Chains A and B, each alone.
Chain A
Amino acid sequence: MEVALFILIALVTVVSALLVIIRKNAVSSVLFLVLTFFCLAMLYVMLGAQFIAAMQVIVYAGAIMVLFIFVVMLLNLGTDQKWEITGPVRKWMGFGSAAGILLIAVLAFRGMQSPTTEMDTSIGTVSSIGETMFQSYVLPFEVASVLLLAAIIGVVAMISRKPVDATTVEGGNES
């Protein structure tokens, strides 16, 4: 039962991840990305990491998705965007980067063993996460806020660099 459910979810995850890169239309790519994230959250639930699963849905399937859609709307990509690099160079670049990712994956997973002990299902609860994060990992937690601050400063700098283009539709004529 559990194995069958895992295989089903994993299959959907892989197929929707593939569709993210296969689909030509940027918006439907983003929506398949949401499906991928949602399936990942289900896999987290199966592993007992409930809080991480909910966070995955909130931050990735919710927030990042909206961000991506707004970026697509901002850049206004047509469906028939032409690549600047064409011909065999492009093909070799694709193969090269795929091989690179494969190499990294092999290096990362080398020597890893599947856990032999029974899984502790309490590790995924909120209270155990709170305990660990605010006692053992205080510094990374505080540094995360600096990272978020950097994101705020970056976007403000980007926005205030030039005034809003008069040809953009929403917002320009609102108030």
Chain B
Amino acid sequence: MIDYFPVLLLMVIVAFMAAALLAITTFIGPKRTNPDKELPFETGNLPTPGNARAQFSVHYYLVAILFVVFDVEVAFLYPWAVQFKQLGLFGLIEMLVFLFILFIGWLFIIRRGVLEWK
């Protein structure tokens, strides 16, 4: 646990440093505001009407869930990669079965063409 002390320390110091920089910039920077300046920036034009937080395509959701699935898979691979020399051929076959099942999933995604952004 003592190994993690520098991590904690670094995060605290970065927070303080950034806060100090922002304090300086608010102190010496100008504060001249007007309604036009506070508008969302759209290359100089008035912002197009409608809520900026528009509805997004379902493709983003697809990418996110595929990421979750494959991320969990990679997370399983890490302890295996560290230990697989000791596990030998048995561990390798185990992992082959695991990856084969997920390979079916990957093939399914490709064959159904859901990753094509039309």
Q: What is the interface of chain A, defined by CB distance below 8 A to chain B?
A: 45-46, 48, 51, 55, 58-59, 62-64, 66-67, 70-71, 73-76, 121, 126-127, 129-131, 133-135, 138, 141-142, 144-146, 148-149, 151-153, 155-156, 158-160, 164, 167-172, 174-175
Contacts and interface: CB of A to CB of B under 8 A. Distances in A.
Interface of B: 1, 4, 53-69, 71-73, 75-76, 78-80, 82-84, 86-87, 91, 94, 97-99, 101-102, 104-106, 108-109, 112, 114, 117-118
By secondary structure, the A interface counts as helix
Contact of B71 (A59, A169, A174): A59
A129, A159, A167: which has the most chain B beta carbons within 10 Å?
A: A159
Nearest to B63: A70
B1 A48 contact: yes
A34 B69 CA distance: 19
Contact of B68 (A51, A63, A169, A174): A63
Contacts, number: 162
B103 to A, nearest CB: 10
A148 B73 CA distance: 8
B109 A59 contact: no
Nearest to B55: A76
Contacts of B98: 141-142, 144-145
A134 B87 contact: yes
A134 B55 contact: no
| Nearest 3 pairs of A and B residues by beta carbon | A130-B83, A171-B57, A130-B79
A82 to B, nearest CB: 18
A145 B101 contact: yes
Contacts of A155: 61-62, 65-66
Given A74-B61, A159-B62, A172-B57, A148 B1 contact: no
